[in-house]
Structures are given as C-alpha cells and as structure tokens.
Amino acid sequence: MTKTTHKPQLIILMGVAGTGKTTLGRRLAERLGYIFLDADDFHSTDAVNRMRGGMPLTDAIRDAWTDRLHAALTTRFAEGTNCVLAFSGLRARNRRSLMQTGFDTRAFMLDGSKTLLTLRLTQRHGHFMPLSQLQNQLESMQPVEADEPIERIDIDASPEDIVTTLQDKAIKGK
C-alpha cells in the first residue's frame, strides 16, 4: 500500500458484469502499489440476494451502495492512500458521486461485445451475479456523457495488455 504526500490517486474501472473489473483492478493495484477496492464488497446482503436471485437492483439500492463506497473513499483520501476501485458505474449520477471524493481521479469504462461478456460469465464461478443479469446490466448502463471524464477501454486483449494500457493512461498526466 502506497501512502502519498501529494493528492492521492483513484483509478476507477467501470463496466457491466464480465468486463474484468476485478481481475484487471487487482493486477493494476498490485503493479502500482495501490490498494484495491471491489465495489461488490460494499453491497448489502439484500442487494447480493436480489442479484443472485436474478432481480436487478433498484436505483435506491444503487444509491445507498454508492453512498457506502463514497464514505470508504473519503476515508482513504483522508489517509492519503492511492486506490484502484472496481465499480459497475451503470448510472451517471453514481459515477459522478464517486469521482467527487477529492482524489486525482482517472476513470475508465471497460467495454466489450456481448458475445465476449457472455463467454466470460459462463466461465466464471463463485460470483453472485448470474449470466441472466447481463442483458439487464447492458440495458441499465447509461452512456458516458460528454462531460464525464471517463475513457473507454476495449477489453478484447489479454489481461496483461489491458493492465499495461490502463497503467499508461492512468499515470499519464499525473
């Protein structure tokens, strides 16, 4: 874990289920010496049970979840800790909230074809998000607006290549 004397950096990896947020985020955090936070760890038990049962989250549930993430990030910022966050970012207002925590923030939307996402989700084991929720997430994802400082990253490459791209883009201009 890297503690800084300057404004700490937050790198947010966003995208629907199967884009590799957690895998890429862990690798990027390890490479940079940052701490890794997985937004999935901040879901309420009710939210996890809803998703496991194939029910999408409501905006109220998403907002409460984002509030918990915002509080955790605010604490990390006060500690001067650099972070990588894996966060779906389906709703623009939730993305905006997490980008307003004081950090030097770099945000990336991980994007891939539905075919690739489906393949990845069918190969994933032990996660509460079922493949049946992919279509709902794709429909719920609000497009990144022109004023949102979020860069799109294509995930049709090896994890190592994607992490290198993310590292290069996140560190550039820091």
Least confident of 42-46, 80-84, 163-167: 42-46
What domains appear along the chain, each with residue ranges and CATH number?
Answer: 9-169 (3.40.50.300)
- Write down the mean pLDDT value for the chain: 87
Q: How much of the chain exceeds pLDDT 90, in percent?
A: 57
DSSP per-residue letters across 33-85: T-EEEEGGGGS-HHHHHHHHTTPPPPHHHHHHHHHHHHHHHHHHHHHTB-EEE
Model pLDDT, residue 1: 52
- What is the band of 4 on the pLDDT scale with cuts at 50, 70, 90? very low
CB 151 within 8 A of CB 108: yes
pLDDT (average), residues 107-129? 78
pLDDT (average), residues 3-25? 86
Interval 21-63: pLDDT, tens: 999 999 999 999 999 999 989 988 888 888 778 788 888 998 9
Q: How much of the chain exceeds pLDDT 70, in percent?
A: 91
CB 74 within 8 A of CB 2: no
CA distance 57 to 61: 6
CA distances from 79 to 3, 11, 82, 89, 103 (A): 8, 16, 9, 24, 11
Least confident of 7-11, 91-95, 135-139: 135-139
The model carries a pTM of 0.86
Of 163 and 136, which is predicted with more confidence?
A: 163
Cβ burial, residue 10 (10 Å; 0-12/13-18/19+): buried
